[in-house]
Structure 1
């Protein structure tokens, strides 16, 4: 049985690090003041231990699959959760509208980061006399806006097929710096909104419990309802079982489709297991519709599903930070830092400016979009949790819609042009990605007009109140 422990111990290490990270966050004054989540502390601690070889028999690769599946689980459980009360009052159009705002920011970021990274790397070449391919700067958009997996995928493709030296390694470095930027900048921004009470969820405040990281005994909230009798099955096991059903259906669906689309490059990518979460959250949305339509909602506790979502995000963050191996290229360190700093600043300014235009939930959308555009969707969800601790606003649902919308909207750039970017030529590449960013930004007046018409149809006495 000894051979069966490797994966289990990898998970146990993550859980132990979460305990250590949470305790450090509550005991060290400078960590409490920074409001950095315990999962980030745990992930950084695990990364340092792995880098120093202090966890014998384990390396970053042992945590890659765990990061992928916890990321997938977090969104599948979110989509299996019923609509929050605020979202129900605002209506489905509000969730779609908010999701479109997030999609607009992400799409503009994908194109804008590519152009800015390309320009900064080309500028560094001109000033320093280095002969670096500007696409090494452009790949920042895949590391920041998409994450480690996509940066590694496109970087490896550019490196092996088109000879862009070190593209994969640089992409992973940018992805790592993106996570750092998401929390080094995103947490203070979220804290700014919290201190000024600009968030809608009044349960998320800078109170003593928030700062300490643990609830005082007299203020410990209840979490979930028992919907099953323990003589039959434990309620938590029941909810995990529902997610298991969705996982199996999604796996069977992809396994069925892959042979049918094997000859089509675009469809084979879309139906690959790398995009399991897209299909999984769709399955969960359909399952929830069936549950509600059949009157079975009393057999599902939304608070329990929220705890599964929130816990999965914590494990995903730890696993992601432990799975990223940063190989520092000394010769490229300066241009990489220049590109990363420039992209972080512009992304922040864009998220704040557009988030402010998006309406009542602007602060929540700002931090969520910034997290998504610097780390991953899970990073955005973690930053959102600071402003919306129990996911009671409509933004989590907007984020689920957004994950489908960005794939549909960006099919040309993600599936057609990004894989062959080195063959496009400088001006063609800049025109495509820059044009996408401009097109996204040009939709702001249209989205604002739709939002005003939607808000005008909501009577004052039905206006959603903070929860």
Structure 2
């Protein structure tokens, strides 16, 4: 990379910073944004999309560079989160929340994949048959994962797959924000929903659930800043992740076409590999600290949360700004149909299942889950604040801790996503049917486990019927 290319990336980050600053001012000063639960990075991303080359042409971003930023920022954010010390959680509701989250992924994957196969074999033969699998990635897991998977499919002949993944995620944010606002308005009118501040007449104080842990700084005599140490650990884990992927690539490429395809796909799961190494590094550090081999822990949850927060804020902004409408003309109509169906089904599924899983605070949990499962955890928290501004219910913690437990329940999903990919690469469409059946079985097991785990709970459902 020459000096000019390095400056291009620096300028891109600078323009993303300007967008985030402008969005922050809009969120504070413009009544529409102030009153509606739209996260600042989402506002910044759509502002960048409007100012970009496809609309006004005021800001000229390179789609490739922004996509690269999305990929690496996602990896950094996940590694930072994986290095955090985990809290031991015994509340079964967190476990059920994890299954709730993954079951929604499965519903979205089943719907999206079935529709993309239907389009491919009927009215839209130019549709990439696997494209519907971007629905649970873009809606449920965010732009980083959707871009990563779509980009890897480009090696299989799916033109602009990465950009399509970003498009699905951007539409998901629209569903999260606009759909969430409409849903709250409907519930207030039809169900006579009242928010906590309306009930108690309390000032709207918005605490941050992420800041409960105060920063534990290293002693002042240390010659390195605490944030620098967190970045050193993240960089070390990222290096090991890269070396692992390069090693696997060198081994697999020598095994033929199947191996080369698998090696290419593994790069799309770098965030998972990085997260696994991050958790392993955390365990090693804790072990050394417990054995008194290290005087200090050296990791700080507060600072690691800040690093992940910065990474995801810039990632979301870059992901939406990188969307290119012109590149998607052949896929736009099928994707609009898939995402519209996905948004409607997600609302219905979450609102119905929440009544069975959450015997108390049903409405708050449902809105939080809907916001996250069409956007990110920040949109889930934003919607929750509209009905529980003081976080008096357990919904916020169900969202945060449920995301953690969902990693375990979601592991089979990552395996399932590879089955149709292998079917396409090796011209074995029977694997598409295998995937659909596996989705149904997976979904049935998750829902059965949730219902069995909550059937003995006593309480009164509140809000949604």
Give 3-state SS (helix, strand or coil) of 1:256's partner: helix
Give 3-state SS (helix, strand or coil) of 2:250's partner: helix
Question: Would the alpha carbon gap of residues 430 and 276 (structure 1) be closer, same or farther in structure 2, given more than 3 Å must change?
Answer: closer
- Residue 368 of structure 1, CA deviation: 6.5
1:60 paired with 2:51, answer no
Within 5 Å, give how 1:19-418 maps onto structure 2: 19-51=21-53, 52-56=56-60, 58-84=61-87, 88-90=88-90, 96-119=95-118, 121=119, 131-133=123-125, 135=127, 139-143=131-135, 145-146=137-138, 147-154=146-153, 157=156, 159=158, 173-186=167-180, 208=204, 224-229=215-220, 232-262=223-253, 263=255, 265=259, 268-269=262-263, 272-293=266-287, 294-295=289-290, 298-327=297-326, 336-359=335-358, 366=366, 370=370, 374=374, 379-386=375-382, 387=384, 393=397, 395-403=399-407, 405-411=409-415, 413-418=416-421
TM-score of the superposition, structure 1-length normalised? 0.73
TM-score of the superposition, structure 2-length normalised? 0.74
Distance 2:129 2:261 in 1: 28
Match of 1:459 in 2: none
Q: Deviations over 1:344-381 (max 9, x none)?
A: 1012212333344444686677566546654xxxx422
- Residue 167 of structure 1, CA deviation: 8.0
- Residue 170 of structure 1, CA deviation: 6.4
Distance 1:356 1:233 in 2: 51
Distance 1:155 1:298 in 2: 43
Tell me the C-alpha RMSD between the 2 structures: 4.3
Q: Deviations over 1:332-352 (max 9, x none)?
A: 765553443222101221233
1:449 paired with 2:452, answer yes
Q: Deviations over 1:397-452 (max 9, x none)?
A: 442453464343342x4212145359556xx5774454234323322122332456
Gaps of 5+ in 2: 139-145, 459-465
Give 3-state SS (helix, strand or coil) of 1:261's partner: helix
Distance 1:114 1:352 in 2: 22
- Residue 19 of structure 1, CA deviation: 0.9
Contact 2:163 2:322 in 1 (8 A): no
Question: Would the alpha carbon gap of residues 280 and 346 (structure 1) be closer, same or farther in structure 2, given more than 3 Å must change?
Answer: same
Gaps of 5+ in 1: 126-130, 161-165, 199-204, 457-467
